[in-house]
Chains A and B, each alone.
Chain A
């Protein structure tokens, strides 16, 4: 403090000191540019690097000692999706032996043009069917059966489709009937 004051007071008369004073302005443009660049970088990295997570709820595991109570479900509402190796995906509607019209086992691809179109179509159909029966709350039920050769990406992809299409009820089921196994493996060629 003291030094600054004396400097000011002493320099008031001197011409040389005055010229020094004018020099004190620094061009801050480059520094500000850099600072904002870094700010942007840190802002984006802190918010974008957080991993995303998909919540998955599974039903309680069945106690083998307890007797299961079978719940009858209208087969017109169910669609079964089988996942196989090499991104193979087969779906059928209703029961495998007696599929609903247009619901015979058929191969689909993942993504917007493949299974999503079919899911949206079926969802509408099921809604119309349930409304006609007077129960508009009964939506589509999708049963997902990931095969032994399917990979984790397939599972996440199909769960993602469920979220996009907004399927009200879906379940992951692990047991395959022999016919379903054949459907997945037999049609390879």
Chain B
């Protein structure tokens, strides 16, 4: 008799567990943000550092193959930055252009041909073979992008913009140094280097 009783207890009511599981599942799906495709894929070097990158007020300079790409967080800040850049270089952007620019990924073209990049679809942009933002002393658009992004960030968020450098592991040092010099010329002396993660005793 006793053996038969224990057989009965084998099935558990899973309704509650199922409810909780799906509630959590919904939460995580909704909080997860879709990964934005990178305009310039780079292989970041690894470090043992565990500091996370801030989510807002951040500009990312991606350096790879001698090219520099620029990316900025925050839609309003992006719009304002584009306006300021347009004024400076006498390139006019329509409202639709600004809206598109606000949601697109990083870019690496001179501002004169930025409009064509904005008009492309996301898939075409990655194929477009963007030449990188000009950063030599004659036509230093990168410095202007950084500066205007900082102005826009202070206007909208009232916070100092953080700068992160995302370099390719194989990139030679002078290219990195050139970008650091551009930042230092604007008195930005502290910035972040984006790295991957690895174990300490390697």
Binding site for B on A (CB under 8 A): 28-29, 31-32, 35-36, 38-39, 42-43, 45-46, 49-61, 83, 111-112, 146-157, 159-160, 163-164, 174
Cα–Cα, bound, A32→B22 (Å): 8
**Contact between B22 and A52, CB atoms less than 8 A apart:** no
CB distance from A168 to the nearest CB of B (A): 17
Kindly provide the distance from the CB of B45 to the nearest chain A CB, expressed in whole angstroms.
4
CB distance from B165 to the nearest CB of A (A): 8
B180 interface contact, C-beta 8 A:
yes
User: Of A29, A55, A152, which one neighbours B169 at CB under 8 angstroms?
Assistant: A152
Pick from B23-31, B106-114, B128-136 the stretch touching chain A: B23-31
Which of B14, B180, B189 meets A32, CB within 8 Å? B14
Q: A35-B18, A54-B193 known; A153 and B45 CB under 8 Å?
A: yes
Name the residue in B32, B45, B194 with the highest tally of chain A Cβ atoms < 10 Å from its Cβ: B45
* A32-B170 CB under 8 A given contacts A60-B187, A60-B189, A111-B202: no
CB distance from A67 to the nearest CB of B (A): 20
Contacts of A51 in B (CB 8 A): 44, 52-53, 166, 194-196
Which of A55, A83, A156 has a CB less than 8 Å from the CB of B51?
Answer: A55
Say yes or no: B21 contacts A36, CB within 8 Å: yes
Residues of B within 8 A of A45 (CB): 32
- Is there contact, CB below 8 Å, between B172 and A157? no
CB contacts under 8 Å to A, within B171-202, are 171-174, 176-177, 180, 184-185, 187, 189-197, 200-202
Q: How near does chain B come to A35, taking the closest CB pair, in angstroms? A: 4
Residues of B within 8 A of A157 (CB): 45, 47
A160 CA to B194 CA, complexed, in Å: 12
Using Cβ atoms and an 8 Å threshold, which residues of chain B touch A56?
A: 190-193
Task: List 10 extra interface pairs beyond A38-B25, A39-B21, A55-B192, CB under 8 A.
Answer: A35-B25, A39-B24, A42-B28, A51-B196, A54-B51, A56-B193, A152-B169, A152-B170, A156-B193, A159-B193
Q: Which of B15, B52, B167, B177 contacts A53 (CB 8 A)?
A: B52
Chain A CB within 8 A of B48 CB: yes
Which residues of the partner chain B approach A164 to less than 8 Å between Cβ atoms? 48, 200
Interface residues of B in 126-173 (CB under 8 A from A): 164, 166-173
> Given A151-B172, A156-B193, is A53 in contact with B18 using a C-beta cutoff of 8 Å?
no
Closest A-chain residue to B185, C-beta based? Answer: A61
Given A50-B52, A53-B49, A54-B49, the answer on whether A152 and B168 have CB atoms closer than 8 Å is yes
Q: How far is the CA of A159 from the CA of B191 in the complex (A)?
A: 14
Is B173 a contact partner of A151 (Cβ separation < 8 A)? yes
**One of B15, B25, B195 near A42 (C-beta < 8 A):** B25
CB < 8 Å: which of B173, B176, B190 contacts A55? Answer: B190
Q: Give chain B nearest CB distance to A28 CB in angstroms.
A: 4
Residues on the B chain within 8 Å of A61, using CB = 184-185, 187
The answer to whether B50 has its CB under 8 Å from any CB of chain A is yes
Contacts A29-B14, A35-B25; A53 near B193 (Cβ below 8 A): yes
Interface string of B43-67 (1 = CB under 8 A from A): 0111111111100000000010000
Complex Cα spacing A51 to B53, Å = 6
Residue among A53, A61, A146 facing the most chain B CB atoms (10 A cut-off): A53
The contact of B172 among A43, A53, A150, A163, by CB within 8 Å, is A150
Q: Contact check: which of B28, B45, B63, B189 meets A43 at CB < 8 Å? A: B28
